[in-house]
Amino acid sequence: MFFWYAAFAVLGAWAVLRDARFDYRLIALGAVLPELIDAPVGHRALAHTLVFAVGSLALVMLLTINRRSLRKHLIAIPIGFFAHLVLDFVWVDKSLFWWPGFGSWGSTGIVPAMPWLVVREVIGVVGAVVVLRRWRDGRLA
């Protein structure tokens, strides 16, 4: 399940930023990374928490002090993490989203139903086609 996150994170960021020099590929990477990070656990876990997204943003900000050009590139990854939280509807699961404040990140086991996952991925493929066409036409780069 990657197209849903990558395509709509890029489209959402483009709708807000409208910066042709911004590296939207890193937003797509950041939007997909939580799935890859939590894959060994077998369910949505630490990478699907607000603490993780905010922590990654703080880490990028701290590591890139006095390195503005590097910050401009790396900030895209935490933006992708935040986009993933929105696109995965993680905010619906209070104990996961607000971990550690409201419980453990593996306690609820709320996972979207398989038909919904398939529908989201098909919509994501359509979104990816839109992104690629806009990129090719120069409207997203």
Q: For residue range 69-85, what is the model confidence (pLDDT) as tens digits?
A: 999 999 999 999 999 99
For 72-124, what is each residue's pLDDT tens digit? 999 999 999 999 999 988 887 777 777 777 665 554 555 566 677 788 788 88
- Rounded to the nearest 5 degrees, what angle is found at the Cα of 36, between the Cα atoms of 35 and 38? 70
For 29-67, what is each residue's pLDDT tens digit? 999 999 999 888 877 888 888 999 999 999 999 999 999
| Inter-CA distances, 93 with 67, 86, 103, 106, 110, Å | 37, 12, 10, 11, 7
pTM given for the model: 0.82
Matching residue, tokens 């990477």: 29
3-state helix, strand, coil in the chain (%, to 5): 70, 0, 30
